[in-house]
Amino acid sequence: MQTYSSIFLFLFLTLILGCDENQSSKNKDPEKENALQSILISDSSNIAIPEVLQRIENIQQALKNSVPVILLKNLDTFQTQAQSIALHDAKFKENLFDKKTNQPYRNEIFNIYAARPQEVPMAFQKGQCYKVEMYNYALNLTTTAIVDIASNSVVSVGNIPQSQPDIPAYLKDLALKIAVHCPQVTQALGYKPGESEALMANTKTALNLTKCERSMHLCVAPTFIKQDKALWVIVDLTDHRVVGLRWTQVGDAGPVKKISEKKLKFDKIMNCYCKKVTALEKQDWKLNYVITTSDGMRISEVYYKGKLILNNAKIVDWHVSYSNSDGFGYSDAVGCPEFSQAAVVAVSEPRVSEIIENGRSIGFTLEQNFSSEQWPQPCNYNYLQRFEFYRDGRFRVAGASLGRGCGNNGTYRPVFRISFAGNENTLSEWKTNQWIPWQTEQWNLQTPQTPYTSEGYQFKLFDPSGNGFFLEPGRGQFADGGRGDNAYVYLTLQHPDKEEGENDLVTIAPCCNPDYHQGPEKFIEPSPEKTEKTSLVLWYVAQIKNDDTPGREYCWAESYLENGAYKTRVYPCICGPMFVPIKPAL
Amino acid sequence: MTETEISGIGMQSCRQSAPFIRKLGFDPSRTAFSSSEKNMKGLAIFELPKPGDTIKKLWQHKTWSQFGYMGSITTDENGNAYTAPIPFVNTLDNPVSIINRIYKVDAQSSELKLFAILPQADTSPGVVPHGVLGLFYDCHGHKLYAASVAGSTMEKENGILYMLDPATGKVLDELKGFDACGVFVGGITGEKKLYFGHARTPNIYTVSLDKEGYFDGKPEIALSLDQLGPRGDDKARRIRYDQYGNLMVFGVEFNFNLAAQSDKPETVYQFGYNRVEKKWLLMKIH
Can you give the pLDDT at residue A208? 36
Residue to mutate among B149, B257, B264, B286, with most A CBs inside 10 A, is B257
Confirm whether A5 is domain-assigned: no
Cα–Cα separations (whole angstroms), residue A52 to A173, A178, A215, B132: 11, 8, 20, 50
Tell which of B156, B261, B286 to mutate to test the A interface (max A CBs under 10 Å): B261
Q: Which of A219, A264, A341, A506 to mutate to test the interface with B (most CBs of B within 10 A)?
A: A341
Residue A343's CATH number: 2.70.98
pLDDT (mean) for B15-35: 91
Yes or no, beta carbons of A213 and B232 under 8 Å apart: yes
| Closest in A262, A503, A507 to B125, CB measured | A503
The dihedral sign for the CA sequence B81, B86, B91, B94: positive
DSSP string, A385-425: EEEEEETTS-EEEEEEEEEE-S-SSEEEEEEEEEEES-SSB
CB atoms near residue A513 (< 10 Å) = 17
Phi (first) and psi of residue A77, to 5 degrees:
-60, -45
Q: Which of A208, A338, A344 sits opposite B154 (nearest CB)?
A: A338
Identity at A474, one-letter amino acid code: G
Do A390 and A408 fall into the same domain? yes
Helix (H, G, I), strand (E, B) or coil at A428: strand
Contacts (Cβ under 8 Å, ≥6 apart) of B23: none
Q: Can you name the residues that pair with A43 across neighbouring β-strands?
A: none
| Residues A446, A434: Cα–Cα separation, whole Å | 17
Q: pLDDT band at residue B170, thresholds of 50, 70 and 90?
A: very high
Is 50 exceeded by the pLDDT of residue B258? Answer: yes
Residue A183 inside a domain? The answer is: yes
A318 and A221 in a common domain = no
**B interface mutation test: which of A325, A406, A506 has the most B CBs within 10 A?**
A506
Residues A493 and A357 in one domain: yes
Which one is predicted more confidently, A488 or B227? A488
The alpha-carbon gap from B155 to the nearest alpha carbon of chain A, in Å, equals 9
Inter-chain CB proximity A507 and B260 less than 8 Å:
no
Q: Is the predicted ipTM greater than 0.85, yes or no?
A: yes
Which domain does A386 fall in, by range?
Answer: 276-581
∠ CA B102-B106-B112 to the nearest 5 degrees? 50
pLDDT along chain A (586 residues), means of 10: 40 53 58 87 80 96 96 95 97 96 97 90 82 97 95 93 89 91 92 74 43 86 85 92 89 65 92 95 97 96 97 96 78 93 94 95 97 90 97 98 92 98 97 96 96 97 96 96 97 90 88 94 96 97 96 96 95 98 79
Q: Which helix (H) or strand (E) holds A573?
A: strand A573-575
> Residues A333, A433: one domain?
yes
Residue A300: closest CA among A283, A279, A271, A273: A279
Q: Give the N- to C-terminal CA distance of chain B in Å, as an integer.
A: 34
Looking at the structure, do residues A489 and A366 belong to the same domain, yes or no? yes
Q: CB distance A343–B230 less than 8 Å?
A: no
* Whether residue A353 sits in one domain with residue A317: yes
DSSP letters for A487-511: -EEEEEE--TTSSSSSS-----S-S
B173 contact partners, CB below 8 Å, separation of at least 6: B162, B163, B213, B214, B215
Amino acid at residue number A123: A
Question: Omega of the bond prior to A376 within 30 degrees of 0, cis?
Answer: yes
Tell me: the pLDDT tens digits for A306-316?
A: 999 999 999 99
Nearest partner of A109 among A68, A151, A152, judged by Cα: A68
Q: Provide the pLDDT for residue A18.
A: 60
A403 belongs to a structural domain: yes
Is the CB of A503 less than 8 angstroms away from the CB of B89?
Answer: no
Give B203's strand partners. B224
Q: What is the pLDDT of residues A380-437, one digit of tens each?
A: 999 999 999 999 999 999 999 999 998 999 999 999 999 999 999 999 999 999 999 9
Shortest CA gap B128–chain A (Å):
6
The domain ranges of chain B are 3-285
Asked if B261's CB is within 8 angstroms of A332's CB, the reply is no
Residues of B in contact with A340 (CB under 8 A): 256-258
Record: contact B259-A343, CB cut-off 8 A = yes
Chain A closest CA to B15's CA: distance in Å? 35
**Does residue B98 sit in helix, strand or coil?**
helix
A9 within domain boundaries: no
Domain B3-285 falls under CATH 2.120.10: yes
Average pLDDT over residues B53-71: 91
Give the closest of A258, A342, A406 to B257, CB-based: A342
H helices, E strands: number in chain B: 2, 19
Distance of alpha carbon A289 from alpha carbon A384, whole angstroms: 15
β-strand A2-4 against A565-571: which pairing, if any?
Answer: parallel
Nearest to A163 among B230, B259, B263 (CB): B230
Residue A62 in any domain: the answer is no
For residue A161, is the peptide bond before it cis, meaning its omega torsion is within 30 degrees of 0?
A: no
Q: How many other β-carbons are positioned within 10 Å of the β-carbon of residue A391?
A: 16
Q: How many domains does chain A have?
A: 3
B→A interface, C-beta within 8 Å: 39, 87, 89-92, 95, 125-126, 128-129, 153-154, 226-227, 230-233, 253, 255-263, 265
Whole-number pLDDT of residue A147: 95
Facing residues of B281 across strands?
B272
pLDDT given for residue A225 in this prediction = 84
- pLDDT more than 70, % of chain B: 99
Question: What pLDDT digit, counting tens, does each position of B95-151 carry?
Answer: 888 999 999 999 999 999 999 999 987 777 789 999 999 999 999 999 999 999 999
- In which band, very low, low, confident or very high, does the pLDDT at B94 lie, cut at 50, 70 and 90? confident
A527's CB contacts (< 8 A; 6+ apart) are none
Asked, for residue A58, whether it belongs to a domain, the answer is no
User: Taking each helix axis from N to C terminus, what angle separates A169-180 and A50-63, rounded to the nearest 10 degrees?
Assistant: 140
DSSP A113-130: EEPPGGGS-GGGTTS-EE
Cβ within 8 Å, pair B261-A341: no
Residues in B touching A210 (Cβ below 8 Å) = 232
- The pLDDT value recorded for residue A254 is 54
CA geometry: angle at B52 spanning B51 and B54, to 5°? 95
The per-type count for chain A, helices as H runs and strands as E runs, is 7, 37
Instruction: Compute the distance between CA of residue B85 and CA of residue B75 in angstroms, rounded to an integer.
Output: 16
